[in-house]
């Protein structure tokens, strides 16, 4: 079971999501909070696998909340669930450590699938967000990636998991890990979200 908590200040959204998650197979709804400060105080006792995080919150905003959570809990996957779709918000969220980025108009069933996908190593994103990211990569390269590294980075930015990338490129998952290791080295980053964030900010691909 995937333990999930919600950080959302809109009570109606919070309650509707909690009901849907409670009834979803493979998901254990563990609680919801209206602000980051309260969520941070309770994470240690709930130990969620996934957090659905709004950005515009009273007090500490969701992006700052992601940073705080990442400082203490590296294994928790955080998916932003927000109305914001500008490049700066997307970049800041991913750079802070978010693993996915969904719009609030995403269907509940798709949110559940995103939760499952992120636990498999994917980076789920709403279609329009993924399109914005991919579009930003249609600028000439600034880093000396090989053609395959360039291809792998593009697929990472589309939210594909390592296994999905391996299947799409007809290579082993070990080969994908090899290319990703080289990408991290060339970008001077340590995680997939940081790689995507830097590629988005600097239009590297």
Q: Quote the longest CA-to-CA distance of the chain.
A: 48
Q: pLDDT band at residue 135, thresholds of 50, 70 and 90?
A: low
Q: pLDDT band at residue 129, thresholds of 50, 70 and 90?
A: confident
For residue 137, give the DSSP letter: T
Domain at 2-131, CATH homologous superfamily? Response regulator (3.40.50.2300)
* Residue 65 to residue 50: CA distance in whole angstroms: 14
**What is the CB neighbour count within 10 angstroms for residue 51?**
29
- Mean residue pLDDT across the chain: 90
Mean pLDDT of 157-165: 91
Out of 42-51, 118-127, 152-161, the most confident range is 42-51
The predicted pLDDT at position 139 comes to 47
* Domain ranges in the chain with CATH number 1.10.10.10: 136-202
Of 147, 138, 152, nearest to 184 by C-alpha is: 152
* Residue 88 to residue 85: CA distance in whole angstroms: 8
* Domain ranges in the chain with CATH number 3.40.50.2300: 2-131
CATH class, domain 136-202, is mainly alpha
**What is the CB neighbour count within 10 angstroms for residue 59?**
12
């Amino acid at each position: 079971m995937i333990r999930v908590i919600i950080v959302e200040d809109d009570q109606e959204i919070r309650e509707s999501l909690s009901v849907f998650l409670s009834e979803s197979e493979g998901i254990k709804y563990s609680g919801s909070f209206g602000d980051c400060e309260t969520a941070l105080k309770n994470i240690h006792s709930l130990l969620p696998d996934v957090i659905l995080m709004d950005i515009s919150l009273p007090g500490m905003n969701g992006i700052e909340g992601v940073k705080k959570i990442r400082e203490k809990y590296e294994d928790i996957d955080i998916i932003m669930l927000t109305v914001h779709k500008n490049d700066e918000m997307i970049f800041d969220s991913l750079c802070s450590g978010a693993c996915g980025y969904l719009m609030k108009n995403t269907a509940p069933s798709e949110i559940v699938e995103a939760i499952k996908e992120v636990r498999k190593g994917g980076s789920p994103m709403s279609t329009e967000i993924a399109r914005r990211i991919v579009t930003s990569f249609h600028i000439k390269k600034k880093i000396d990636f090989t053609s395959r590294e360039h291809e792998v980075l593009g697929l990472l930015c589309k939210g594909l998991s390592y296994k999905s990338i391996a299947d799409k490129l007809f290579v082993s998952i070990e080969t994908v890990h090899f290319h990703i290791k080289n990408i991290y080295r060339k970008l001077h980053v340590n995680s997939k979200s940081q790689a995507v964030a830097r590629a988005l900010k600097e239009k590297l691909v």
